[in-house]
């Protein structure tokens, strides 16, 4: 194998990064790039990867069967606690890009991620290693700006701040590839799958679809030719962020909360329920009116999502998607509603958005054992408490009435489902 340039450092290595970043990097043409990976906190992923020379199987799970390929773009894996390896990697002149998948919490003030980045950047400045790009792969609007603010917020040395301003770029990106948790059955099934790595204990399962939209903002920094693997490099990622958040992520949240109310376990199960499917189409209709993209592109995106959601072999559980609604709903549905009302103050809340908010309300109040969300209102909350968390400015009589009516419809549908009555 050709020696890979250790040009990328990734923080927060997990299944998604291995199905997305590593896959695109492996399939990019030109000189091969490698990834030095660091875990967030636990050393488990680093230990498991190191035990098999950082190679692993990527299982692509289509509706008609599985295919496998061995990914070898990760050239080293370290626990997040290895601060020496971290600062050495960022100080290396070989390193050109740092990517992150650390979830929304990693960018908060006081989180350890910005401090770790600042320590690494300070080591790079002292080493005179030159410009570098830091790129978030997390599902955040304008994630490049969010990352920049988080890093600068952790800087106390004015000289370092000036160096960062002059030498560090923060391109935004939009990423998409559903990557469900790998199960013991997935590991056991590798023996019969052509192309799988022998003895692999940490394979990754993913869907056939993959998308990556990258802001063209790498001044003075080399990068892999990711566009040759299908990534799109653009001047502004905002419309694509909105498309993903409002279509895919919004409908995921809707399917999670509404589907759990109706007794479903997976996205495919919920999508097959006419009640859920109708609500999803309504949500998409509302989002389509606010998206600054050609109608044909929006229609294609919706059709692709139907195919992805209906894939019965991608077991994407609703409980996994349902976590963190207090942080997700403001950007997945409230943002659409605000655009809607800014365009037409008389439009009111649409039925899709009302159903999503109502379903979350019922989820946190009637299924507290399934709630994984520190910011969620408590089990005794009313609709005003729910709106106070995600959209206090929208706690108006029409919105409250629409959400309450939607909740009543969900309760009725849930009762029918529990009695075995078809929708």
**Domain spanning 5-234, CATH class:** alpha beta
Q: Kindly state the DSSP code that residue 220 receives in the 8-state scheme.
A: T
Q: Measuring CA to CA, how many Å separate 317 from each of 267, 270, 281, 371?
A: 6, 10, 20, 14
pLDDT per position as a tens digit, 73-111: 999 999 999 999 999 999 999 999 999 999 888 999 889
Q: Is the pTM of this model over 0.85?
A: yes
Q: Could you tell me the residue ranges of all domains in the chain?
A: 5-234, 238-418
Low-confidence residues of the chain: pLDDT under 50: 1
What does the pLDDT read at residue 29?
A: 97
What does the pLDDT read at residue 1?
A: 47
Report the side by side order of strands in the sheet with 56-62. 65-71, 56-62, 204-206
Hey, what are 172's tokens? 């935004």
Residues 6+ apart with CB under 8 A from 37: 9, 10, 13, 17, 46, 49, 54, 74, 76, 77, 78
Rounded CA gap, 185 and 197, in Å?
A: 16
Hey, what are 160's tokens? 């370092």
Rounded CA gap, 65 and 85, in Å?
A: 40
Rounded CA gap, 139 and 240, in Å?
A: 12
With beta carbons less than 8 A apart as the criterion, state whether 361 and 407 touch: yes
What does the pLDDT read at residue 420?
A: 76
With beta carbons less than 8 A apart as the criterion, state whether 211 and 300 touch: no
Instruction: Calculate the dihedral angle through the C-alpha atoms of 226, 231, 233, 236, rounding to the nearest 10 degrees.
Output: -140
With beta carbons less than 8 A apart as the criterion, state whether 133 and 96 touch: yes
CA angle, residues 83, 89, 91, in degrees to nearest 5: 100
DSSP states of 346-382 as a string?
A: TS---HHHHHHHHHHHHHHHH-GGG---TTS--TT--
Rounded CA gap, 245 and 6, in Å?
A: 32
Which residue, among 56, 71, 119, has the nearest Cα to 91 in the 3D structure? 119
Helix/strand/coil percent split, the chain, to 5? 50, 15, 35
Which residue, among 81, 149, 91, has the nearest Cα to 121 in the 3D structure? 91
With beta carbons less than 8 A apart as the criterion, state whether 77 and 49 touch: yes
**Domain spanning 238-418, CATH class:** mainly alpha
pLDDT per position as a tens digit, 130-139: 999 999 999 8
Rounded CA gap, 96 and 221, in Å?
A: 6
What does the pLDDT read at residue 201?
A: 96
Rounded CA gap, 11 and 78, in Å?
A: 10
Instruction: Find tokens 């958040």 and name the residue.
Output: 245
Rounded CA gap, 236 and 171, in Å?
A: 10
Instruction: Find tokens 């998607």 and name the residue.
Output: 321
């Amino acid at each position: 194998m050709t020696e890979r340039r250790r040009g990328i450092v990734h923080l927060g290595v997990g299944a998604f990064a291995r199905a997305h970043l590593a896959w695109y990097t492996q399939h990019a043409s030109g000189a091969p790039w490698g990834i030095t990976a660091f875990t967030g906190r636990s050393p488990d992923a680093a230990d498991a990867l190191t035990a098999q020379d950082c190679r692993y199987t990527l299982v692509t799970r289509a509706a008609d069967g599985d295919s496998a390929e061995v990914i070898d773009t990760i050239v080293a894996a370290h626990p997040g606690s290895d601060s020496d390896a971290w600062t050495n990697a960022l100080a290396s002149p070989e390193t050109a890009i740092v990517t992150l998948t650390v979830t929304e919490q990693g960018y908060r003030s006081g989180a350890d991620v910005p401090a770790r980045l600042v320590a690494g950047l300070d080591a790079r400045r002292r080493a005179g290693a030159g410009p570098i790009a830091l790129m978030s792969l997390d599902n955040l609007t304008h994630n490049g700006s969010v990352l920049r603010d988080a890093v600068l917020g952790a800087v106390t040395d004015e000289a370092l701040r000036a160096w960062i301003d002059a030498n560090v770029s923060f391109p935004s990106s939009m990423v998409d590839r559903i990557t469900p948790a790998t199960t013991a059955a997935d590991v056991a099934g590798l023996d019969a799958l052509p192309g799988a790595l022998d003895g692999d204990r940490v394979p990754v399962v993913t869907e056939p679809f993959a998308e990556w939209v990258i802001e063209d903002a790498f001044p003075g920094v080399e990068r892999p030719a990711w566009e040759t693997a299908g990534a799109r490099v653009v001047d502004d990622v905002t419309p694509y962020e909105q498309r993903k958040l409002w279509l895919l992520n919004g409908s995921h949240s809707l399917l999670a909360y509404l589907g759990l109310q109706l007794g479903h376990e997976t996205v495919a199960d919920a999508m097959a329920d006419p009640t859920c499917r109708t609500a999803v189409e309504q949500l998409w209709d509302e989002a389509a009116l606010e998206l600054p993209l050609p109608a044909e592109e929006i229609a294609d995106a919706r059709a692709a999502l139907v195919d992805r959601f209906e894939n019965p072999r991608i077991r994407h559980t609703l409980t996994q998607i349902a976590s963190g609604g207090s942080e997700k709903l403001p950007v997945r549905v409230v943002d659409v509603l605000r655009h809607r009302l800014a365009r037409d103050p008389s439009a009111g809340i649409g039925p899709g958005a009302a159903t999503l908010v109502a379903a979350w309300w019922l989820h946190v109040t009637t299924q507290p054992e399934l709630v994984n969300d520190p910011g969620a209102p408590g089990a005794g909350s009313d609709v005003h408490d729910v709106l106070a968390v995600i959209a206090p400015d929208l706690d108006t009589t029409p919105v409250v009435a629409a959400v309450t009516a939607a909740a009543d419809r969900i309760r009725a549908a849930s009762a029918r489902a529990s009695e075995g009555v078809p929708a």
